[in-house]
Amino acid sequence: MSDRQQLNGIYAITDPQLLPDDTQLFMAVESALKAGLSCLQYRDKKADASKALRQARGLAELCGHYGCLLIINDDVLLAKASGADGIHLGQEDGVLLQARDYLGPDVLIGRTCHNSLQLAEEAKIQGADYLAFGRCYPSSTKPSAPATSLAIFTQAAHLGLPLVGIGGINSPARAAEVKAAGASMIAAVEGIFAQSNPQQAVHQYHQAIKDTLLNSLPTEVQHDSLSRTF
Ligand SMILES: Cc1ncc(COP(=O)(O)OP(=O)(O)O)c(N)n1
Ligand SMILES: Cc1ncsc1CCOP(=O)(O)O
Ligand SMILES: [Mg+2]
């Protein structure tokens, strides 16, 4: 499977307030990885260079064991130095084409598009590998993020890129709702890393998404799928 094909499922994002030291960070991430993550994003806007490099390298190794892609938030230098699989760039985080030049063709680049189809179209032209929309619900982690309607996922479907929903997706029911609206990946901080058991939280997201997708199929296909599963 190419890295881009893996952009489907649960996308966990770390938070230094919830996971303040290496032990808590690596333990919580490994717990989430055990339930199956497509991507993990290392997001620490205040870490000094040595802490960031140590933690990002540790996460790259851990994610490698579980077949999970590691994406670095904001910092192209850190993405390269840590051997991460990708970078996430917001609208204020520099020019996508320059990041591509620096990181090369194989590194995944994700772009924040807030609630804007125009930003999504521009990101596609500039070579983004996935497009992120949100916040989908009120978010305690980033209350200032602009809100989006879930209709954006239908509107952006024709772009043919993986679409990420982010912001306030802190329950399995919300994850299922965003997935049903057309998101390929569900990104969450609080819903995973503010929980006492990240593995269980991720497992519940997977279950809710599976149940919702199954319920959206015609009855005879549901019965067929269930008889194959059990
Ligand atoms: C998957 C994903 N989507 C959106 C964001 C937000 O990026 P940005 O707008 O640059 O804001 P910060 O995260 O840098 O505060 C993200 N990080 N990840
Ligand atoms: C980084 C970011 N960008 C938009 S909302 C958000 C925070 C997501 O965190 P949570 O899942 O806790 O709302
Ligand atoms: Mg950013």
Q: Angle of helix 219-229 relative to helix 198-215, nearest 10 degrees?
A: 140
Domain assignment of residue 103, given as a range: 4-229
DSSP 48: -
The reply, when asked if residue 45 is annotated as ligand binding, is yes
Tell me the CA–centroid distance for residue 178 and ligand 2, in Å. 14
Q: Two tokens at 230?
A: 């059990």
Q: Which amino acid is at 166?
A: I
Structure tokens that stand for 30 in this block: 């490994």
Per-residue confidence of the chain (230 residues) as pLDDT tens digits? 668 789 999 999 999 999 999 999 999 999 999 999 999 999 999 999 999 999 999 999 999 999 999 999 999 999 999 999 999 999 999 999 999 999 999 999 999 999 999 999 999 999 999 999 999 999 999 999 999 999 999 999 999 999 999 999 999 999 999 999 999 999 999 999 999 999 999 999 999 999 887 777 777 766 666 565 54
**CA 94 to ligand 3 center in whole angstroms:** 9
120, containing H or E segment = helix 117-125
What span, in angstroms and rounded, lies between the C-alpha atoms of 29 and 66?
11
Could you identify the atom of ligand 1 that is nearest to the CA of residue 93?
Answer: 10
Q: What is the ipTM of this complex?
A: 0.99
Q: At 162, which CATH number? A: 3.20.20.70
Cβ atoms within 10 Å of 211's Cβ, excluding its own? 12
Q: pTM to 2 decimals?
A: 0.95
**131 CB within 6 A, ligand 2:** no
Asked whether 147 and 115 are in contact (CB, 8 A), the reply is yes
Q: How many domains does the chain have?
A: 1
Q: Is 168 in the pocket of ligand 2 (CB under 6 A)?
A: yes
Q: How far, in Å, from the CA of 186 to the mean position of ligand 2?
A: 11
Nearest to 33 by CA among 9, 16, 54: 9
